[in-house]
Amino acid sequence: MRSEAVLTATVMGLGMHQGAWRFRDGDPFDHLGPDYHLENARLAEAGGLHALFLADTLDGSEERYARPSLGALDPAVVLATLAAATERIGLVATSSTSFNEPYNLARRMASLDAMSRGRAGWNAVTTFVPGAAAQFGDAPLPDHAARYARAGEFLDVVKGLWGSWSPEALVGDKETGRYVDTSHVHAIEHHGEHFTVRGPATLPPSPQGRPVIFQAGSSGPGRDLAARHADVVFTAQNTLEAAVAFRADLRARAAALGRDPDHLLVLPGLVPVLGDTAADAQHRKSALDGARGIGPELDKLALRVGVPVAELELDAPLPVERIRANEGFRGSHGFRDAAVELAVRRGLTVRELLAENGGGHLQVVGTPDRVADTVETWLDAGAADGFNLMIDVLPDGLAAVVDEVVPRLRKRGRFPADYVGTTLREHLGLPLPA
């Protein structure tokens, strides 16, 4: 188990909390321009965070525009802009295996890796929002198994392309005119069920070999995919017990495939809602919840657990039997299971669950020490290798993490004093790919 936590910070909309836009200072459309993103990136880098993580959705429903939306901008484009304004921090872009071509995606992420000198990560998602499919043809969203089957083959292709150049290929001899030794650049000749891709990639490996692969599989097929392909697993875990079991299971799956389980990092999402005192933090939370209203949050919960919103009564228990009986569920198993786990274990009503469950993730409303305690406890229990911090309000919630939480973790020996290298892979302590 790790003594020092890996910490990444997620940017979605104007913050993880749906009330962020009303609560924060600044223009309600700040997330649609560069200054906001530059400020977040510089803050996170000043705090030594391992990476900035850009969430994404391809949801096309108009309802989402009723609030600041994650995925308004293409994450790879935003992060490429940030590459020029930062030096060390990792840049992780979410992108879907269901609605991209692997050749294009492999090139895009490798390009981000090249332009950032080896700081890119790709968060491979299968897209579980039904509304996304309507942007890409007549067919409905493929079911869970089909999405994961495609994702597995997609990752095979992308990793094949990223491995299609050996470093020996780069000759560049001006005297003789020999530029590349093409015997060290190999077509991949992939002919699979979903894709036919000849390869090779258009560029050689970056300083970190290839982009770091993030994945968020929680179902059986999702965990298998993660164990086979991921460097980092991002997960929704609302209790220590479930998180310990999840991480142990993932590590066992990786080991069974012959991988060193220490090379598969598990980062649960964590929503810190910070205050100088517990009362201050609670006050911030109440103000945010008041700014949000309960309607949109209830809609999101209904999507997460896979039942119509009309079946969720605010002051009744979560309809767990009904949720578990939904065999046609197409959403994220991770979010669903985390919500059910929390509601059952604590006996929460829907209203209480909405307050406790930070958009699906573990939520700590409290002082910086309280957040540092959680990080420490989860690391020591083997529940996590660190956390993906889902910042409630940006940039000020991130500034609070950097100014108040990071120094405390450093004092406790639980966070690195500085970046250890120049690439994301180095920051994470992961070896170069073979």
Residues 163-222 that bind a second copy (CB under 8 A): 169-170, 172, 174, 177, 179-180, 182, 185, 187, 195-200, 202-204
Query: Which of residues 279 and 287 has its CB atom nearest to a second copy in the complex?
Result: 287
Which of 34, 140, 413, 431 binds a second copy (CB under 8 A)? It is 34
Under the binding rule (CB under 8 A), the answer on residue 21 touching a second copy is yes
Query: Which of residues 220 and 296 has its CB atom nearest to a second copy in the complex?
Result: 296
By the 8 A CB rule, do 179 and 172 touch? yes
User: Tokens at residue 428, please?
Assistant: 């994470």
Query: Which of residues 108 and 223 has its CB atom nearest to a second copy in the complex?
Result: 108
Size of interface with a second copy, in residues (CB under 8 A): 72
Picking from 194, 213, 197, 93, the residue whose alpha carbon sits closest to that of residue 147 is 194
Query: Which of residues 196 and 377 has its CB atom nearest to a second copy in the complex?
Result: 196
Under the binding rule (CB under 8 A), the answer on residue 27 touching a second copy is yes
* Residue entry with tokens 């840049």: 91
CA–CA dist 336, 307 (Å, integer) = 10
CA–CA dist 275, 397 (Å, integer) = 10
Query: Which of residues 196 and 326 has its CB atom nearest to a second copy in the complex?
Result: 196
Query: Which of residues 76 and 233 has its CB atom nearest to a second copy in the complex?
Result: 76
Under the binding rule (CB under 8 A), the answer on residue 43 touching a second copy is no
384 backbone φψ class: left, alpha, beta (φ>0; ψ -120 to 50): beta
Query: Which of residues 71 and 334 has its CB atom nearest to a second copy in the complex?
Result: 71
User: Tokens at residue 121, please?
Assistant: 């990560």
Which of 135, 277, 326, 377 binds a second copy (CB under 8 A)? It is 135
Under the binding rule (CB under 8 A), the answer on residue 77 touching a second copy is yes
Picking from 299, 331, 389, the residue whose alpha carbon sits closest to that of residue 126 is 331
Beta-carbon contacts of residue 385 (< 8 Å; ≥ 6 apart): 2, 5, 6, 247, 265, 266, 267, 379
363 backbone φψ class: left, alpha, beta (φ>0; ψ -120 to 50): beta
Which of 12, 43, 51, 112 binds a second copy (CB under 8 A)? It is 112
Give the nearest distance from C-beta 124 to a second copy in angstroms. Answer: 16
By the 8 A CB rule, do 267 and 385 touch? yes
Angle formed at CA 165 by CA 159 and CA 169, multiple of 5 degrees: 170
Interface segment toward a second copy; rule CB under 8 A; list 136-144, 220-228, 322-330, 421-429: 136-144
Which of 1, 3, 87, 104 binds a second copy (CB under 8 A)? It is 104
Interface segment toward a second copy; rule CB under 8 A; list 81-89, 147-155, 373-381, 394-402: 81-89
Sites for a second copy among residues 263-322 (CB under 8 A): 291, 293
User: Tokens at residue 139, please?
Assistant: 């067919």
